[in-house]
Amino acid sequence: MMDELRELYQEVILDHGKNPRNFRHPDDANREAKGENPMCGDRFMVYLKLKDGVVEDVAFQGRGCAISTASASMMTEVIKGKTEAEAKALFETFHDLCTKDDHDHGDHGPVDEDAMERLMVLSGVRQFPVRVKCATLAWHAMNAAIEGEDKASSE
Amino acid sequence: MDTQITLPTFDVERVRADFPILSRTVHERKGKPGKPLVYLDSAASAQKPRQVIDAMTRFLEEDYSNIHRGVHFLSQTATDQFEEARRKVARFLNAPSERNIVFTRSATEAVNLVAHSYGRTFLSEGDEIIVSVMEHHANIVPWQLLQMDKGIRIRVVPVDEHGVLDLNAYEDLLSDRTKLVAMTHCSNVLGTVTPAKIIARMAHERGVPVLFDGSQAAVHGVVDVQDIDADFYIMTGHKLYGPTGTGVLYGKYDLLKKMPPYQGGGDMIESVSFEGTTFKAPPARFEAGTPAITEVIGLGVALDYMEKLGREAIAAHEHDLLQYSTQQLSQIDGLRVYGTAPGKGPIISFTLEGVHPHDLGTIVDQYGVAVRVGRHCAEPLMERFGVGATARASFALYNTRAEADALVESVIAVKEFFGA
């Protein structure tokens, strides 16, 4: 198997893709937003429980490819317990990770370095431009939910 | 006495040599050689033979000019070649005359032309249009726009598990309210070829005109619009080994004649004044503005190319590839083919259990295999089969059994990769 594919589909991604974490609809969620990729038909709902500006719970449901499912799953793990500002900073920084070379990354405020390190496994999508939307789909929905929108605007 | 039947031979290697792009490799990196291209996405758009590329280059280098307006030498030459392409399209469809052939920019534009011009003039609130659940979005959304505008209803003919059109349901849907049937002649997802002649006859018994979307059907078989008795027939040039920017609307002349213009502009008028403008007769009436001159001429050459190879020989070759590939793919555990109608076109939509089609597409691409993944602009059909997306391999006159093998090997690699 080619190196590029191993880079894209690392074990962690295959694991999260097959066994997504927080794949549920929390009863007490107070925000939700849909993320949809019209090209491939992937569709996620991201649920948030926000309290006093903190993400107390985050979960998702829907259908998607290994990349989008793994990214959604890992997102729920790193976003939980973050403030809205921290979650948004992670979204922006993660977006840069998927789309830009290292030296072009912007400054999006203080960001959880450990979380970014875990998310590094998804940076392989940079070599596969058509797959970037897969990796960022649930993140856009999460960001929309924080903003109080009910769906992620398509880019 | 020994009788020997000589079958017409289809020399696919010679055919491949006509398509420059097929000799390229993909994913060459860091000194590692690339993979030979295995192009199985012709249902999205077909590659172009050297003959088409050369004809367009030659036209641009030697004869290019605007058409239908100049008195000068080049304008006449260009007009002649453009109108010759119209005659070629007419012959390709066995249309009674080139007057029946309207050039559009795409098949999508051709459907929109009928929806706009015919639909807005002859349909009103409560009228119904019948389509099938297999339609490409291009044969759904224009009617929905008409629905928003006119309050018409769209009725949908279902298919069975194999993807065969339910003719009984079609018959039940036909009523006094039906004012148009707009149906695919070959599904771009399932490959199902619809019984166009029967569909048309059943509609005509009620005086209802029929439009066929032949975007796929015209590529894979011989289409005779007079035999089918189609009222409108639509094709797209880029799937017929011709250039993009070329669509074809065939229409019965008495229908075209009573339809108002779709777009206004140059080349479609007889005279213009601010008191009133009069329009040319069809097809010119529907060809406002400078058309894709070079591309239409290229399309004519593409049709020549297909005729020279023999459309029945092409169909036989593609059918062999379809059967062989279906058989090979079916041996893969967990692989499901969508669309198993008898006599289907060379299009195979499939899913692999435990693997999302998008992931499959990315991985087989690393092996040089180009397939389409997603919803194929046919979302209602995806819903019908309860699947979010499929992978689709489509075969063309230049594909080989070896390429089918490459597809199968790459799908097996996907399966191993995901442990599916």
pLDDT, residue B6, reads 53
Across A136-145, average pLDDT: 96
Q: Measure in Å the smallest separation between the Cα of A139 and chain B Cα atoms.
A: 19
Contact A40 B379 (CB under 8 A): no
Across B287-303, average pLDDT: 97
The pLDDT tens digits of the residues spanning A18-70 come to 999 999 999 999 999 999 987 777 899 999 999 999 999 999 999 999 999 99
- The sheet carrying A31-37 orders its strands as A31-37, A42-51, A54-63
Interface of B with A (CB under 8 A): 29, 354-359, 362-363, 366, 373-375, 379, 382, 388-389, 413, 417-418
Contact A1 B417 (CB under 8 A): yes
Torsion angle (degrees, nearest 10) of CA B80, B82, B83, B88: 120
Residue A106 pLDDT level (bands cut at 50, 70, 90): confident
DSSP collapsed to 3 states, A33-61: EEEEECCCCEEEEEEEEEECCEEEEEEEE
Contact in structure between A61 and A24 (CB atoms under 8 Å)? yes
pLDDT, residue B8, reads 58
Q: Which domains does chain A have, with CATH numbers?
A: 3-147 (3.90.1010.10)
Contact B358 A43 (CB under 8 A): no
Sign of CA dihedral B281, B286, B292, B295: negative
Rounded to whole angstroms, how far apart are CA atoms B164 and B67? 44
Residue B420 has pLDDT above 70, yes or no: no
Residue A143 has pLDDT above 60, yes or no: yes
| Exposure on the CB side of residue A95, measured as CA atoms within 13 A | 17
Q: List CB contacts of B365: < 8 A, sequence separation 6 or more.
A: B26, B27, B371
The pLDDT tens digits of the residues spanning B13-50 come to 999 999 999 999 999 887 889 999 999 999 999 999 99
- Strand (E) or helix (H) holding A14: helix A11-18
Across B304-308, average pLDDT: 98
Residue B349 tokens read as: 């939509």
Residue A155 has pLDDT above 70, yes or no: no
CATH assignment of B12-48+311-418? 3.90.1150.10
Residue B145 has pLDDT above 90, yes or no: yes
Q: In sequence order, what DSSP letters do the residues of B259-302 get, joined into one string?
A: SPPSS-STTSEEE--TT--EEPPTTGGG--S---HHHHHHHHHH
Contact A41 B388 (CB under 8 A): yes
Give residue limits of the domains in chain B. Answer: 12-48+311-418, 51-308
Q: Percentage of chain B with pLDDT > 90?
A: 90
pLDDT, residue B49, reads 98
**What would you measure as the largest C-alpha separation in chain B, in angstroms?**
80
CATH level 3 topology of B51-308: Aspartate Aminotransferase; domain 2 (3.40.640)
The pLDDT tens digits of the residues spanning B356-391 come to 999 999 999 999 999 999 988 999 999 999 998 999
Rounded to whole angstroms, how far apart are CA atoms B57 and B325? 36
pLDDT, residue A42, reads 87
**Substitution target from B141, B349, B356, B412 for chain A, most A beta carbons within 10 A:** B356
Q: Whose CA is closest to B416, among A1, A122, A103? A: A1
Contact A9 B359 (CB under 8 A): yes
Q: Which of A40-44, A117-121, B201-205 has the lowest mean pLDDT?
A: A40-44
Residue B200 has pLDDT above 70, yes or no: yes
Bigger pLDDT: B171 vs A7: B171
Q: Measure in Å the smallest separation between the Cα of B414 and chain A Cα atoms.
A: 10
Across A108-136, average pLDDT: 91
Torsion angle (degrees, nearest 10) of CA B128, B375, A154, A116: 160
Q: Residue B283: is the preceding peptide bond cis (ω within 30°)? A: yes
Q: Measure in Å the smallest separation between the Cα of A153 and chain B Cα atoms.
A: 20
- Strand (E) or helix (H) holding B39: strand B38-39
Residue B392 has pLDDT above 90, yes or no: yes
Across B343-364, average pLDDT: 96
Residue A154 pLDDT level (bands cut at 50, 70, 90): low
Residue A3 has pLDDT above 90, yes or no: no
A23 Ramachandran zone, left/alpha/beta (phi>0; psi -120 to 50): beta
Residue B249 has pLDDT above 60, yes or no: yes
Residue B9 has pLDDT above 90, yes or no: no
